[in-house]
Amino acid sequence: MRQTIQDHLGPPPTPYRWGGTGKFGIDCSGLVMTLFREQGIFLPRTSANQFFVGKPVSDKLQFGDLVFFSKYGPAHPVTHVGIFIGGDKFLHASASRGVTISSLNKRYYRLRYKGARRIF
């Protein structure tokens, strides 16, 4: 999984494309689905459905845990997903930056955090 992550980070990074699942354009849930499929794990296509797979994780996140967000705030349905990669960082496909790494501690993500799930 680590090599595929590096491939998507670039250079150049894989651009964002809603509904995309490949190197020429990918969205957040497509990125997660693709990375896990390469490990032999088949996940649903949307972030909202991915939120119900695996076991909830409240703390001590591990590499590969899925982290979920709602752009409308935590009381609303899931709209975004990323993969925890360690420290406070997660990999995701950003509409403005393509595949990138962000901090869970960034205010924007803290206010929209819904939870995490462990798939394996």
23 sits in the region (left: phi over 0; alpha: psi -120 to 50; else beta) called alpha
Catalytic-role residue among 27, 33, 80, 109: 80
Q: Is 28 one of the catalytic residues?
A: yes
Measured CA to CA in angstroms, residue 44 lies from 28, 36, 102 at distances of 12, 11, 23
Q: Where are the beta strands (DSSP E) in the chain?
A: 21-22, 25-26, 55-57, 66-69, 80-86, 89-94, 98-103, 113-118
Residue owning tokens 């819904």 = 114
Catalytic hit among 26, 28, 66, 78: 28
Look up 109 and say whether it is catalytic.
no
Of 14, 64, 91, 92, which residue is the catalytic one? 92
Active site residue 8: no
Catalytic residues, by residue number, are: 28, 80, 92
